[in-house]
Chains A and B, each alone.
Chain A
């Protein structure tokens, strides 16, 4: 079992306590492609933050690849994030003053890898994304789809246990969205990368083999989507 969540509770206390997660139990195997769906305020982003070790939780246990992720110091959580998790964000979150290849290299920089080796690996991943010619370009010189592919290359470069994608198509048009989702699907099918996508778009969720529906801080149901017929708009388009 790659990911094991047991009775996870999370309460935000901004003046008034807000019980966001009310006992989440979830298991995800290595090589799965899972999407987490829910309305805004359902707690799906909080769940993603906990999965990504960006936030802590109050109660329960979270095991990632056999490690108990609880009460970690900043240093430890940084190391886990670096080695086990690749993030893909809605707004890409590339660093604007770094070129595409420098952005892709960044996680390796924090592993202390030397410059030449880093550059070599980063170029390899950019090639895989079909962006070799764009390696020296800055993010503001690229289209949304290209930026998201750079971000995916950056997420993949450390060979993480999981890729966490938070609304990966949120800022893209429908055509590019399809391309990005096809890319993620291909990574999952061919390279066996474990992918967790958080979305509220049914078309995006439909790419996954398993859809976790969250409502009011609880898992409403886990839908088996191996046939990919969950989207009411067909299997090949993403309705915007």
Chain B
């Protein structure tokens, strides 16, 4: 092995400029591949950063208006979901696949005061303990609503870290706020938790127990929406079938046509997630293909150079064969040289690509743009993972072998007499 490397080093050393120029093409190809994949990842991460906040095996349902007459009732009738619907999901025909059910109801337009600090127009959101899991609520301090809060209708509240920061005049020791009282309207609540709100939108809802909000405001059994999680679905077809079952169940309970898609709105996060993943893999595949095509020009370059090298060294291979070199050993020499050149410059390109990704992350990755009235990140963590690096390594080795195999076969075919005659 040592001898092989010495031989290759000699050959490379004698043709520094040529080897470097060829290597540049390979390095550029891999550089582009890594940067493209990194940017692609960043783009996907930026778009998906919202959906990442939810558990993907959930659906949300809300009331709508019927779009067709049914059972003697005219179209355009308002459907209001109630606690009864939540119970229906929990205990009805779909109960075996449904895990958590959480209804929500909200009231807005209140002012929250803490000492001399206040927030106008806050929204109180009555919810259940299951919400923390289904909506992936991140707690910065304290706890989320629990079953006892629900059953005892406790007047407890969860604020966001943005409120907390304001209350602490910029401090971040949120634990200090736990157990403190805030006033919402003229009602007093005890802070039991600080959740991590999203920076980029008006995610300032205050969470209180569902039962508390119902009793305080004397609300009827109407709910704003029901979120539930489920299990046992694997693909889009199953998801569609399940969604239809949910629709039929709820529509029937409200005397709407079972297939009326507007009577009850269903937001199927599972399906959305599947489609998102599909889109992601299509984008990544496209980027791989573009990157690989860029790399092909580099490979052709290496192959070309190896062909020239073989031509130049015909005489030498003739000597080697006369001295007893087997065709296989010459084949190995050229292929190894090709793989080493490709791998070395490929790694240089990969390294530069990763540095470029880091630079992207530090510059474009930190900037935001306005889109659909929201401020979103342009790129979020535009880097490639270990898997891609390993994949690129495999690509390099395969590419080097392919680039080397034809010139190597040429070299192995050299006839010693012809080579020795060519003097």
Contacts and interface: CB of A to CB of B under 8 A. Distances in A.
Interface of A: 49, 52, 54-55, 74-75, 78-79, 81-83, 87, 89, 91, 93-98, 106-107, 109-111, 115, 154, 158
Interface string B1-25: 0110000001100100000000000
A227 to B, nearest CB: 34
Contact of B10 (A49, A94, A97, A111): A97
Contacts of A106: 320, 323
Contacts of B11: 97
Given A93-B318, A93-B420, A115-B2, 17 more contacts: A49-B417, A54-B420, A74-B327, A78-B324, A79-B324, A81-B321, A81-B323, A82-B324, A83-B324, A94-B319, A95-B319, A106-B320, A110-B320, A110-B323, A110-B325, A110-B326, A110-B329
Contacts of B325: 78, 110
20 contacts: A49-B417, A54-B417, A55-B417, A74-B326, A74-B327, A78-B325, A78-B326, A78-B327, A79-B326, A81-B321, A82-B324, A87-B322, A91-B423, A94-B319, A95-B316, A95-B319, A106-B320, A109-B3, A110-B325, A158-B324
Contacts of A110: 320, 323-326, 329
B318 to A, nearest CB: 8
Contacts of A52: 322
A180 B354 CA distance: 61
Interface string B74-110: 0000000000000000000000000000000000000
Contacts of A83: 324
Interface of B: 2-3, 10-11, 14, 315-316, 318-329, 416-417, 420, 423
A139 to B, nearest CB: 11
Contact of B327 (A54, A75, A111): A75
B401 to A, nearest CB: 22
Contacts of B327: 74-75, 78
Contacts of B324: 78-79, 81-83, 107, 110-111, 158
A81 B415 CA distance: 14
Contacts of B316: 95-96
Contacts, number: 60
B272 to A, nearest CB: 62
B262 to A, nearest CB: 78
Contact of B3 (A91, A97, A115): A115
Nearest to B321: A78
Contacts of A158: 324
User: Majority SS of interface residues in chain B?
Assistant: helix
B323 A54 contact: no
Nearest to B2: A115
Contact of A75 (B3, B10, B326): B326
Nearest to A154: B323
A89 B391 CA distance: 49
A54 B324 CA distance: 10
Contacts of A82: 323-324
Contacts of A91: 423
Nearest to B329: A110
Contacts of A93: 315, 318-319, 322, 420
A87 B328 contact: no
Contacts of B423: 91
A32 B325 CA distance: 28
A114 to B, nearest CB: 10
A93 B320 CA distance: 10
Contacts of A81: 321-324
A93 B319 CA distance: 7
Contacts of B318: 93
Which one of A83, A89, A93, A107 has the highest number of Cβ atoms from chain B below 10 Å of its Cβ? A93
A54 B416 contact: yes
Contacts of B328: 75
Which one of B3, B14, B320, B324 has the highest number of Cβ atoms from chain A below 10 Å of its Cβ? B324
Nearest to B3: A109
A83 to B, nearest CB: 7
Contacts of B417: 49, 54-55
A203 to B, nearest CB: 23
B3 A89 contact: no
Contacts of A78: 321, 324-327
A54 B414 CA distance: 11
Contacts of A96: 316
Nearest to B6: A102
B414 to A, nearest CB: 10
Nearest to B324: A82
Contacts of B322: 52, 54, 81, 87, 93
A113 to B, nearest CB: 10
A89 B326 contact: no
- Lowest 4 A-B CB distances belong to which pairs? A82-B324, A110-B324, A78-B326, A107-B323
A2 B322 CA distance: 20
A230 B89 CA distance: 117
A156 B318 CA distance: 19
Nearest to A97: B10
A91 B423 CA distance: 8
